[in-house]
Amino acid sequence: MHHVLCTRSNLGNDVRCPVCGQGFLVFWYRLSRDEQDALRQPIARALRAQHAVNPAAAVGGAHPAEDFTVPHWTAAPELVAAA
């Protein structure tokens, strides 16, 4: 599966958290429109899972403040393009 980089955004967004509505820009890195569309549901599931892991967090606080990858990847976010 492709790894995509997500970053919080209150101005524009590619996907919103289905729980709290927080917007995220997604850096798709050379993916076709069909591939992007196919990844929207897994991204939404990952955002929902962040609330399940930290249910006591404030509405937007369940999500990492820094950029993160979906699916989760332990390498530096800058390396996502190489994945």
What secondary structure, in 3-state letters, does 57-79 show?
Answer: CCHHHHCCCCCEEECCCCCCHHH
pLDDT over threshold 50, residue 36: yes
Interacting residues of 19 by C-beta distance below 8 A, sequence separation 6+: 47, 48, 51, 62
Measure CA 31 to chain center.
15
Q: Count other C-beta atoms under 10 Å from residue 64's C-beta.
A: 12
Residue 30 has pLDDT above 70, yes or no: yes
- Tell me the whole-structure pTM to 2 decimals: 0.76
Q: Name the band, by pLDDT with cuts 50, 70 and 90, for residue 83.
A: very low
> 26 pLDDT exceeds 80?
yes
